[in-house]
Structure 1
């Protein structure tokens, strides 16, 4: 098979619209050749010219000048953590301002959003996207409360928004969907959190009615020597919660360090409870275990009713 004809210079190493290529004299047959990918209707990408992270920006090419990234696609663009059910989704969420008509194209989830000019910003790559604070509020219709807390913690830690910015965005929100989740998540946010799962665990603990734990607290021996920084610390009860990702299991050196660290903490009289992603997937059993450990060490509180806790753990619309 003969090699395809070279493309004009503006289309060699970057995504382009079919309309722009046709205007430059590229015929329809050339635009169907295998060296051009078509991730979205009306858009072509020279093979190898598109990092996966840029796919969302390419979707905007065919959507007109008023379109912008929103929802999970905007969150990913801003670097917010998303649960796997959203992170694995290949369709891109694109909105137009109300009262426009939602875009209907292959590979695009079209939405119409009532936004103010300040709620749509241009990134350093000139990609139009909902602002970080607006994006966080919009996520409330797709995430559980602990997942929303994880996204907000990451934003606060990045320094791109303040807690006041998120509160102002919530107060200004015209769309009242998700407001219960937003109001539940706001008082739980903490920029000291170092990982999304740690954030989810902390949110679950507080929503369940346990005391608010310290976050990433430095623990020292009586001599003043530093021993460890622990994820969540119920200091009054000497109880420590540590979220353990898979690398703590698969990395042999990390596993050994963890065991030594845990032994040092327990030698000081603390109790260390490790929590994994499987535990988070079974919150009732996890919370019961935490309660038993705290009661044994002097806690006299009570868990909130399970129905009330479950309400915060539901995926909206599921």
Structure 2
């Protein structure tokens, strides 16, 4: 007997002598899916999307399932959706019963649409973007496309070729609009949402991750969004910028350096992402003042 770390298939572990039926049925082991268990204390939290994907991958026996959707993006290092999202499993033509927390897709993937992420199989960054953009309404598809194109270093325009190859795919009409609005220079989903929110409110387009240099040509910082001629920047400030003392001190020093180089920095919060109009008014006022 041994303490098995991480999720495991009970039938295989029992056959290999790694555990027993009694231990599997005991209070120290939790059932996740049929034949899939984990020791109590090692079960992935609801917010651990990558961990839940590892558990879900064991549910499908035979040929391994391929992880897609938001879970694939998470495993690619391109987190772009709710961490509590269901795990998408792509199983080909097999019939697999859905389970709570899982979405089963009977898609057939091309060989170049499947890659390894450690010991798991996941859809490629391009295929993951294709699936998410077709599924998501509004800005969600653009957020996913920005994150995955940045992680996978592909041009969003490449999605248009897939749309031409699969014109009858559900949601394929959303692809062209997402490609036009995408800009993988955005370094995080909140930065993409900030950029899209300002554009929707009529603010002139800014440059994501603009490099700022001082009058001597020395590097000062990269700003989330920058209007170079006006020397105005918009910076997204997540909760960690407020709660992490070191991050807060770093931000203050950085803002001081930008100010000394003649730049005005406008902070953007999660509330501004929800209600972008007021933030857009502040940005437009700053641009107008700098123009004068």
Scaled by the length of structure 2, what TM-score is found?
A: 0.78
Please list the CA deviations of residues 110-159 of structure 1 after superposition, one character each: whole Å capped at 9, or x if unmatched. 2333x332364141434232222111121125545544333333333334
Matched residue, 1:233: 226
Matched residue, 1:96: 91
Once the 2 structures are TM-superposed, how far is the Cα of residue 15 of structure 1 from its aligned partner? 3.6
Equivalences for 1:100-139 in 2 at 5 Å? Answer: 100-113=94-107, 115-118=108-111, 120-139=113-132
For the Cα contact (< 8 Å) 1:95–1:102, is it kept in 2?
no
Structure 1 residues not aligned, in runs of 5+: 1-5, 300-318
Distance in 1 between the 2:212 and 2:176 partners? 32
Please list the CA deviations of residues 92-120 of structure 1 after superposition, one character each: whole Å capped at 9, or x if unmatched. 2223225x44522344232333x332364
1:216 is paired with a residue of what secondary structure? strand
Please list the CA deviations of residues 184-204 of structure 1 after superposition, one character each: whole Å capped at 9, or x if unmatched. 222343343333212221233
Distance in 2 between the 1:79 and 1:175 partners? 30
Matched residue, 1:59: 56
Q: Which moved more, 1:252-261 or 1:33-42?
A: 252-261
| Higher radius of gyration, 1 or 2 | 1
For the Cα contact (< 8 Å) 2:125–2:152, is it kept in 1?
no
For the Cα contact (< 8 Å) 1:103–1:109, is it kept in 2?
no
Give the alignment partner of residue 286 of structure 2, picking from 266, 284, 293: 293
Question: Would you say how many aligned residue pairs link Structure 1 and Structure 2?
Answer: 286
Once the 2 structures are TM-superposed, how far is the Cα of residue 21 of structure 1 from its aligned partner? 4.9
For the Cα contact (< 8 Å) 2:88–2:105, is it kept in 1?
yes
For the Cα contact (< 8 Å) 2:157–2:179, is it kept in 1?
no
Instruction: Confirm or deny that 1:80 pairs with 2:74.
Output: no
Distance in 1 between the 2:240 and 2:5 partners? 37
Matched residue, 1:222: 215
Scaled by the length of structure 1, what TM-score is found?
A: 0.73
For the Cα contact (< 8 Å) 2:213–2:219, is it kept in 1?
yes
Judging changes above 3 Å, is the alpha-carbon distance between structure 1 residues 184 and 42 closer, same or farther for their aligned structure 2 residues?
A: same
The structure with higher relative contact order (CA 8 Å, sep 6+) is: 1
